[in-house]
Each structure stands twice: as C-alpha cells, then as structure tokens.
C-alpha cells in the first residue's frame, strides 16, 4: 500500500501555499487533513470553498458539528472524530452529548435528535433511508429544503472521511474517546 506523508508548505503549489497561510492565520496551524488536500492543485481550494458554502445552508454551527460527528462515526474516521469532538466542545456540546451524537441520537434536544437520526440513516443506507426518518425530520421543524443541505453536509464529511481512510495521515487533534454502546 502506498504511504502518504503530510505535505509541508514548501511541497505544495503557490496557490495552496496561500491557502496554507490563510488556514495558519485562522486556526494557528494547518491541520494534517487540510494539508493533505493540498497534494492536489485544486483539491484544497475546492474543498475549502465547498466546506465554507455549508455555512450558508439551513444548519447552524452546532447542527453542522452534530452532522459531522455522526457521519464520521458511521464512516469510522478517527481523524474527523478527533477533530469534530474538539470542535463540538468548542460549540458547547458536553462529552456525553458528543457521544450521543456519534451514536446517532440526542436525547437532550428533540430537533438535533431528528437531525442526527436522519444523517445517520442517509449515511448508512447511502441515501436509501426509511421515509419515517424523513417525516420525523420534517416534524421536528426542518423544512424540506434542509434535506438538500443535509445531503451536501454528508457529502462534505464523506469526502474528508474517505481521504483520511485512504491516506491514513497522522491525527493531529486529541483522540476521540471510544464510542461504547450508548442506549438510544
């Protein structure tokens, strides 16, 4: 199997170097997964633009983190679980809430519960989820257009989950705790 190393700033194109500088300025470091997108001339810019576009969709930051957590759990992406556990805490989730979200439910918030249940169902079934889960999502207060934004969010996370699965680059966030069986 091919071995991938995280590219440093001097190993990427001038365009990606500028993006590295922007990321460095905003986050204080360039996460290894973002750097890995920089292996491609257009990969990093395209991914960042796609990811940024999600902020204009139906979901607030906390909801986006809930989606990121459950999709990363379904796809067993240790990198994204670590990153989004840290981001989830920054967005106000407790450790227990993060574990629930990863397990695909949220007994602490009815609306988030419907959101993560649908995100989990879509990810597990590759889009062929049961209509009852969609109905519960709508009944929880989401409008039909939010389904489109949810599919985009899932696609966004699948892209990064798959890139890590292929490259196995080192995780540069604190490891997420193992998900034990949590009663749903």
pLDDT digits (tens, 9 = 90+) for 87-122: 999 999 999 999 999 999 999 999 999 999 999 999
pLDDT digits (tens, 9 = 90+) for 145-168: 999 999 999 999 999 999 999 999
Average pLDDT over residues 1-7: 92
Integer Cα distance of 74 and 123 in angstroms: 7
Joined together, the tokens standing for residue 184 give: 């749903």
CATH node for 58-167: 1.20.1290.10
Integer Cα distance of 69 and 49 in angstroms: 20
Integer Cα distance of 7 and 169 in angstroms: 10
> Considering the entire predicted model, what is its pTM?
0.95
Task: Give the start-to-end residue ranges of the domains of the chain.
Answer: 9-55, 58-167
Q: Which residue's structure tokens are 């490891």? A: 175
Joined together, the tokens standing for residue 112 give: 């988030």
Q: Please, how many CA atoms are within 13 Å of residue 179, restricted to the half-sphere of its CB?
A: 23
- Residue 119 sits at φ, ψ, to 5 deg, of -60, -40
- Residue 46 sits at φ, ψ, to 5 deg, of -65, -45
pLDDT digits (tens, 9 = 90+) for 38-66: 999 999 999 999 999 999 999 999 999 99
pLDDT digits (tens, 9 = 90+) for 112-121: 999 999 999 9
Integer Cα distance of 151 and 179 in angstroms: 24
Q: Which residue's structure tokens are 């360039």? A: 30
């Amino acid at each position: 199997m091919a071995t991938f190393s995280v590219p440093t700033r001097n190993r990427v194109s001038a365009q990606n170097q500028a993006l590295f500088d922007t990321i460095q300025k905003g986050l204080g470091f360039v996460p290894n997964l973002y750097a890995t997108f920089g292996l491609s001339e257009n990969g990093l810019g395209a991914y960042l633009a796609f990811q940024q576009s999600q902020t204009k969709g139906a979901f607030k930051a906390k909801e986006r983190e809930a989606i990121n957590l459950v999709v990363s759990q379904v796809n067993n992406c240790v990198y994204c679980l670590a990153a989004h556990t840290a981001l989830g805490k920054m967005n106000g989730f407790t450790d227990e809430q993060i574990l629930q979200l990863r397990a695909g439910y949220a007994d602490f918030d009815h609306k988030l519960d419907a959101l993560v249940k649908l995100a989990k169902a879509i990810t597990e079934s590759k889009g062929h989820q049961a209509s009852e889960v969609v109905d519960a999502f709508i009944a929880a207060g989401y409008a039909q257009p939010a389904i489109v934004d949810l599919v985009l969010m899932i696609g966004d996370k699948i892209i990064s989950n798959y890139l890590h699965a292929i490259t196995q680059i080192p995780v540069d966030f604190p490891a997420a705790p193992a998900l034990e069986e949590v009663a749903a």
